[in-house]
Amino acid sequence: MFIQDCSSSVALRFVTQLTSGYHSSAVCWMENGSLLSGGGSYLYQYDTESGSILTQVNQTKSIGSVAVGKNVIAGISSTNDFGGGNPVFMLFSEDLKPQKTVATLNFTSSYTINLVTVMPSTSNIIILNPNTKQVLVYSNKGGLNCTIKLIGLQNPTAIQAVPGQSVLISDCNSGSVSKFRLANQKLEHVWTYLGVINPTALSVDLKGWIYCLALINDPATGNQIPAIKIISEEGKTCIY
């Protein structure tokens, strides 16, 4: 499972593995250092040391994407939700109980694990609609602030907010990760890094390094295998 937002700097050294036995479709850090996971019809809160479940709350929808910010927990139901239909944007209380259903979203993309993020400075909730190629900006109370059309992206798959009122967006078709600055209800292009095969999830650490879940060519088998590509904050260099 790929964690959407790194609350501390990551050195990619294996530390521990949490094995819960439960299906997880999205994972992110909570402000208290625990892990929040959406899976099936539940939200789980895990202790990172023991891997034990601290909180388990039943939901009315299958949770496909989650994001946490100051005083806000947001989620999007999965497009393959057992109830069917388009995904729903929801807000949750601190005890992970459903607090508010904000909107029904008109997309059916198979990429649902990284479509909602929270801006660190404002706690605004930002949603990527891959079908309409739009970014929707909501207040932390669920009010729609603006809708922004994405220009130049073919198949956006993931979004991640970063400091400086900016967002990162990956594009599966063009094999790219791009940075945009949000200003005056517009997205200003900052840079684009190319050459990423099938990027589907994004994360950032406190030093600004960008972690992108993608595919690489395996010379031993000739097949493409999942890997984490690490891109610099300026979008200029990439390491594995």
What CATH number is associated with residue 133? 2.120.10.30
Domain hosting residue 66, numbered range: 26-239
Q: How many domains does the chain have?
A: 1
233 in Cβ contact with 211 (< 8 Å): no
Q: One-letter amino acid identity for 224?
A: Q
Residues 169, 119, 144, 70, CA torsion sign: positive
Successive 10-residue mean pLDDT values, the chain, 240 residues: 49 52 67 82 85 86 87 82 69 91 78 84 94 94 96 92 96 95 95 94 91 92 92 86
pLDDT of residue 111: 54
The DSSP code sequence of 132-160 is TTEEEEE-TTS-EEEEEE--S-SSEEEEE
The token pair at 120 is 């660190």
Q: Per the domain annotation, does 1 fall within a domain? A: no
Q: Per the domain annotation, does 116 fall within a domain? A: yes
pLDDT of residue 8: 44
> Alpha-carbon distance 133 to 138, whole Å?
16
pLDDT of residue 85: 61
pLDDT of residue 240: 67
